Amino acid sequence: METEAEGSISSEPPTASRSLITLITQWTPPIWLEKLAISFAVPILIWMVTFLWVGEDGLPGGQIFALLVLIFFGIATGYAMELIRFPPLLGMLMVGMAIRNVPGIKFAVDLTGDVSSTLRQTALVVILIRAGLGLDPTALAKLSAVVIKLAFGPCLMEAATIGIATHFILDFPWAWGFLMGFIIAAVSPAVIVPCLLNLRDQGYGVAKGIPTIVIAAASVDDILAISAFGVALGFALNQDESLAMTIIQGPIELVLGISFGIFWGLGLGIFLSQSEDTNKDSTIFRLVFLLFGGCLSVFGFQYIKFAGSGALGCLTAAFVAATLWRRKGVLADNDNLNWSFQKLWFVFQPLLFGLIGCEIDFSTLDPNIVLLGLICLVIGLSIRITTSFYMVARAGLTVKERLFIAMAWLPKATVQAAIGPVAYDLARQQNAGASAEKLGLEVLTIAVLAILVTAPIGAIAIMLFGPKLLSKDSEVISGESANLTADKFETESKNEEEAVSSNNGEGDLKNKSTAIKLTSISIQVPLNDDN
């Protein structure tokens, strides 16, 4: 009996069954098939669970369903745009405009203004925190004169030009004109950085640090534009106040925003400074306090009628906290905190650009505003390109290289999407009147035009003319991130030699590839798009 039992256990299954079991347990699908299956399964699973949570609001006609459509189709079209070397945000923007204007799929009408505004401003908080985390004070102190000139000169000139142009061409009040100017004046690292890093990996412009100069200056340019926008916003939405109050509104908001940011940032930098080895929950706490502190700044200052302070306070808090964390050695460029905000941006990016697109209703769009807005944009961009060309006149660059920098300084996208709707949202929330709401919608329309026109043209211009205008170096530094070194070549060589000597005892550097001599700036690109 025992022998028979053992024999029955050891008997092998039929060949077909064994083959099927082997196939199921050992087969690994190719990576493209795995990604395809995940891409289809995840949206369906999330929608089904969401429907079970919220009920009818998760069906067509509900706000949750409309938001899910924006997120999933935005991510899909963004990926499609990447395949043809266009910025992903263009696809996300077009999804929003499609569900607003295409008959039969107008899901945008299911979104209330308050929900849309709140989500857009939360996305702005995520952008500002990423910007603050990416700024390094040591690197900023090393900024060369050419980077400072390239950051300040074109931004201020374009903002002033558009402010004047919109006043005389579109009859904007002066405050609204300069508000429009600082919205448009910011460049987009989300478009610039991937293109420049592509060229840099091929060796174009590396010897003179051209990619470094443009990337570093783009960060400072955005901070300047966002800060000035906050001040201009205070003037634009306080026209009913007395002249004295209107004059001091901007400086008050500036002081309030910086003060809150320093206070909140110091608190986070001091009390949340434990490393992950000591406190495994430290990253979660930093994420929560940064995110909710940023929301407190943006929404809180709006509540007390000092809306211009919100963005500056959020940015300053992240910058101060990150500075202290770096000095204590608990924050690095690849830290889990930065990774967490990158993943937040992955979700909020299609929401932001999709919701922006949803605000554009072609049936109510004034063709005159579109045409005159384009004229103002062309005038402003012409001044920006010219100013950029002359700002690097004494930087030791050739005419072709200066021309490339001027073209690379063209694209608009992320900042315009983030702050473009703010004035319109606040005008509605504060019941500022039909005139203010109309101006806010016109500002938003021109901001969207700036994205649609400059993002693809700028990306194409950088990739097309980069190899023609920049010299290609024989040695290519590859695999580098947007966080660029400011150390001299001699320092790098010395460190390298010491390392080789200590490891091998020979100090033989003959097999080492020669590093390119760079005197560039270390700065993490804060608004870079991760898709």
Q: DSSP code of 107? A: G
Strand partners, 204: 472
Cβ pair 148, 337 in contact under 8 A: no
Spell out, as residue ranges, where the chain has pLDDT lower than 50: 1-10, 475-531
Which sign does the torsion angle of CA 3, 5, 10, 14 carry? positive
Query: According to the model, what pLDDT value does residue 133 have?
Result: 83
User: Which residues lie below 8 Å from residue 489, measured CB to CB, with a gap of 6+?
Assistant: 515, 516, 517, 518
pLDDT for the residue numbered 161: 97
SS3 472: strand
Architecture per CATH, 114-478? Up-down Bundle (1.20)
For 472, phi then psi, to 5°, come to -100, 130
pLDDT digits (tens, 9 = 90+) for 250-289: 678 878 888 999 999 999 999 988 877 777 788 889 999 9
Both structure tokens of 57 = 């609001």
Contact 349/531 with Cβ under 8 angstroms? yes
CB 390 within 8 A of CB 381: no
User: Cα(501)–Cα(509) distance, rounded to whole angstroms?
Assistant: 9
Q: How far apart are CA 253 and CA 408, in angstroms?
A: 33
Token pair for 190: 């989300």
Q: Which of 522, 525, 492, 523 is nearest to 509 (CA)?
A: 492
Cβ within 8 Å of residue 14, ≥6 positions away: none
Task: Note the pTM of the prediction, 2 decimals.
Answer: 0.67
- Position 109 scores a pLDDT of 62
**Alpha-carbon 302 to chain mean position:** 23
pLDDT at residue 403, as a whole number:
94
Domain layout of the chain by residue ranges = 114-478
